């Protein structure tokens, strides 16, 4: 595909169009679960406390929070939608990196195509309209692996190694998944340096592992403030990971998800059995997960990895194995580095936890590069004999890539439906009340009670961002109270000692839990509901009670 001014303009127009469309979809109030549980909720609490403070009741607050701290700026300005724009900016920055990296090898046209391909990947589109941190991790990982590749071309240019390590440290500071990036790059850098030196100079590179140590030290130095914070607070620099190593206690292999169900923890290795029991998947279904993520993904469906990719992200890089390379291309380190990194990253996530597509999103930039290289090789091989045919093949491949992505964007746009809000036909409260079942009751709480009232919220999926009152989302509190031999005091006066004055529950999940209680605890629960609570308000399947601490 030759450099063409009109084609560049067409691709640039596509990039502008997708950018504007994403901004349009992002310009509505935050609704995504992780935004409401921690990515906005924790920065909001920091602002209320005028600084970073320990929040023991929120485990997520011990995670690296580089992007969450950036979100404090729009929150301080009472403009939480701005946090979405910050997150999307990292997608745009990654697209720019892709353009610059591919342009070095193949020219601007291929670079623009790579940027467009990346920005239209369904999971990237979805993350771009949400307040998460995954796009920050994707950007810093892309910067790290691209820089490492440039260093491997000429290992005398240490600036690229240092830049790669700095970017890796920022990836670690964004999300714990950056530990996978760190481990792989710290090992693959020295490995490929030795391999390249052996091929070119017929000898091993004695300094390879020293460079690996330098890379690791710089990355960990950037990450060190977060490790120091957690060491001071919890005695574990990567809390809550590896807690059994730093602070041995009886292991807990499950955590509560947003619906109150139990799901396996990272590293518990129970997720394969979990998929077998819950989804009735056989061994072959489970073994194919690293491939299924490319064609079997669905949003909001844990069985189908809660996201969507594009099958060509798998097929085009695989096609490189069948396409001949020129001697110059064989020396490009990214061929082996990117494919090895992507494969190992996906397998590590696969073996560590139940798969979610956004958890392997850091492999998308290197896979896009390999996909573009594959398309360029196909074009090059055919163009020497039939230029028009070669252009037609690339056009068909581009359509095959973009068509399902555009269809996904259409579906997502219809789901978000931003126009009523942006035109003023629907105000913020109305929109959020329609889309978040608990929002109306939370607004009632915020209007009727002051900050002296402490809310115990049960089966809310830990969504706390829209509360202006102190809130504890501990679904185990009532279970412990019912199991206490002196349950009457534990239920009523125990609530007072805990500082709770209000109880908010999601009715369907609460009743489902209550039905599974032993008979003795059911009797205690009935006493608790009748003697210790005063009904106040109900809305959209959620109920609010005041604790009557004089009884019991």
CB 393 within 8 A of CB 1: no
Paired with 471 in beta bridges are: 455
Q: Return the minimum-mean-pLDDT range out of 232-241, 451-460, 514-523.
A: 514-523
How far is the CA of 420 from the CAs of 28, 412, 507, in angstroms? 10, 15, 30
Buried b (16+ CB within 10 A) or exposed e, 51-67: eeeebeebebbbbbbbb
CA 299, distance to chain mean position in Å, is: 13
| 309-338 tens-digit pLDDT | 999 999 999 999 888 777 677 678 999 999
160: in domain: yes
In this prediction, residue 200 carries a pLDDT of 72
Mean pLDDT of all residues belonging to the chain: 90
Q: Decide if 220 is inside a domain.
A: yes
pLDDT for the residue numbered 552: 43
CB 39 within 8 A of CB 132: yes
* Two structure tokens written together for 136: 């920050």
Q: What is the DSSP string of 370-404?
A: HHHHHHHHHHHHHHTT-HHHHHHHHHHHHHHHHHH
| Residue 260, pLDDT above cutoff 50 | no
249 within some domain: no
Q: What pLDDT does 257 receive?
A: 46
Question: Does residue 159 belong to any structural domain of this protein?
Answer: yes
Q: What is the pLDDT of residue 255?
A: 45
The count of residues in the chain is 552
517: domain range? 436-547
As for how many domains the chain has, the answer is: 2
Residue 272 CB burial class (10 angstroms; 0-12, 13-18, ≥19): middle
Contact 449, 442 (CB under 8 A): no
Give the lowest-confidence range in 129-138, 266-275, 292-301.
266-275
Does residue 174 fall inside a structural domain? yes
Residue 262 in this model has a pLDDT that exceeds 50: no
Q: What is the pLDDT of residue 24?
A: 97
Select from 202, 236, 270 the last residue of a domain: 236
Is 82 among the domain residues? Answer: no
Decide if 127 is inside a domain.
no
| pLDDT confidence of residue 259 | 40
The rounded percent of the chain whose pLDDT value lies above 70 is 91
Q: Choose one of 181, 206, 236: the last residue of a domain.
A: 236
- How crowded is residue 536: how many other Cβ atoms within 10 Å of its Cβ? 17
CATH number of the domain residue 478 falls in: 3.40.50.12610
Residues 170/222, Cβ–Cβ less than 8 Å: yes
Report pTM. 0.92
210 vs 190: CA distance, rounded Å: 8
Q: What angle do CA 423, 425, 430 make, to 5 degrees?
A: 120
Mean pLDDT for 14-23 is 97
Instruction: Report residue 339: phi and psi, to 5°.
Output: -70, -40
Decide if 156 is inside a domain. yes
Instruction: From 208, 236, 264, give the residue that closes a domain.
Output: 236
> Distances from the Cα of 472 to the Cαs of 58, 136, 378, 463, in angstroms?
9, 29, 58, 10
């Amino acid at each position: 595909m030759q450099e063409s001014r009109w084609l560049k303009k067409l691709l640039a127009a596509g990039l502008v169009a997708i950018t504007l469309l994403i901004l349009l979809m992002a310009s509505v109030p935050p609704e995504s679960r992780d935004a409401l549980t921690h990515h906005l909720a924790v920065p909001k609490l920091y602002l209320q406390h005028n600084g970073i403070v320990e929040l023991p009741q929120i485990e997520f607050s011990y995670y690296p929070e580089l992007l969450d701290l950036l979100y404090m700026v729009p929150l301080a300005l009472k403009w939480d939608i701005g946090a979405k724009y910050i997150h999307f900016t990292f997608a745009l920055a990654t697209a720019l990196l892709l353009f610059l990296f591919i342009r070095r090898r193949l020219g601007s046209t291929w670079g623009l195509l790579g940027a467009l391909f990346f920005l239209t990947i369904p999971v990237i589109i979805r993350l771009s309209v949400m307040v998460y941190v995954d796009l920050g991790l994707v950007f810093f990982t892309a910067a790290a692996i691209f820089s490492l590749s440039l260093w491997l071309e000429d290992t005398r240019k240490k600036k690229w190694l240092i830049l790669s390590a700095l970017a890796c440290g920022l990836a670690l500071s964004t999300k714990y998944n950056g530990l996978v990036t760190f481990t792989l790059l710290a090992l693959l850098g020295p490995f490929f340096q030795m391999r390249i030196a052996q091929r070119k100079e017929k000898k091993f590179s004695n300094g390879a592992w020293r460079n690996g140590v330098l890379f690791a030290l710089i990355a960990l130095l950037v990450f060190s403030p977060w490790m120091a914070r957690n060491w001071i607070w919890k005695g574990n620099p990567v809390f809550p990971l590896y807690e059994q190593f730093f602070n041995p206690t009886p292991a807990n292999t499950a955590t509560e998800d947003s619906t109150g169900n139990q799901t396996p923890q990272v590293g518990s290795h129970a997720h394969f059995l979990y998929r077998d029991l819950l989804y009735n998947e056989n061994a072959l279904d489970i073994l194919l997960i690293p491939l299924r993520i490319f064609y079997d993904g669905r949003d909001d469906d844990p069985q189908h990895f809660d996201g969507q990719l594009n099958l060509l992200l798998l097929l085009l890089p695989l096609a490189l194995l069948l396409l001949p390379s020129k001697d110059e291309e064989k020396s490009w380190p990214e061929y082996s580095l990117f494919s090895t990194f992507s494969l190992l990253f996906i397998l590590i996530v696969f073996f560590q936890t139940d798969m979610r597509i956004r958890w392997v999103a850091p492999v998308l930039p290197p896979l896009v590069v390999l996909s573009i290289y594959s398309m360029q090789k196909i074009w090059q091989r055919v163009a020497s004999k039939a230029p028009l045919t070669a252009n037609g093949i690339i056009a068909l491949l581009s359509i095959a890539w973009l068509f399902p992505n555009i269809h996904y964007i259409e579906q997502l746009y219809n789901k978000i439906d931003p126009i009523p809000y942006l035109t003023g036909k629907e105000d913020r409260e109305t929109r959020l009340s329609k889309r978040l079942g608990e929002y109306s009751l939370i607004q009632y709480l915020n209007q009727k009670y002051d900050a002296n009232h402490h809310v115990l919220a049960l089966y809310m999926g830990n969504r706390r961002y829209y509360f202006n009152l102190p809130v504890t989302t501990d679904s185990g509190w009532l279970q412990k109270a019912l199991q206490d031999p002196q349950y009457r005091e534990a239920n009523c006066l125990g609530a007072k000692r805990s500082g709770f004055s209000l109880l908010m529950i999601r009715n369907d999940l609460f009743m489902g839990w209550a039905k599974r209680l032993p008979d003795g605890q059911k009797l205690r629960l009935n006493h608790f509901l009748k003697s210790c609570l005063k009904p106040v308000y109900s809305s959209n399947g959620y109920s609010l009670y005041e604790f009557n601490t004089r009884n019991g």
